Homo-oligomer: A and B are copies of this chain.
Amino acid sequence: MLKHNSYFNGNVQSVGFERHGRRQTVGVIDTGEFHFSTEAPERMTVVAGELAIRIDGSTEWRAYPAGTSFEVAGKSGFDVRATQPTGYFCEFL
């Protein structure tokens, strides 16, 4: 059972699914800057393009090009900046 999610007036959209009991999504972040809050811990893998990420509590932006991943603690959040629409794969840990 797939589920379409839309955030930030459709500027971030994903398709959620469950495999082997774990929730995952694939999605796209359009050009812009957005803040996400995490409930569960999650691992984000950039599939196409590149994201700049600043984890809550940090002042440093870090670049994550396609093929790289970052993890975010639960009950936390992160800023994300995309200069071109960027595809990602998100795993809830």
Could you tell me which A residues sit within 8 Å of B by CB distance? Answer: 1-2, 4, 6, 10-15, 17-20, 24, 26-28, 30, 45, 47-49, 84-89, 91
Contacts and interface: CB of A to CB of B under 8 A. Distances in A.
Nearest to A86: B19
Nearest to A45: B47
Contacts of A19: 48-49, 84-86
Contacts of A26: 15, 26-28, 47-48, 87-89
Q: In the complex this chain forms, how many copies of it are found?
A: 2
A87 B30 CA distance: 19
Given A15-B15, A17-B30, A19-B85, 8 more contacts: A2-B11, A4-B4, A4-B6, A15-B28, A17-B28, A26-B26, A26-B27, A26-B28
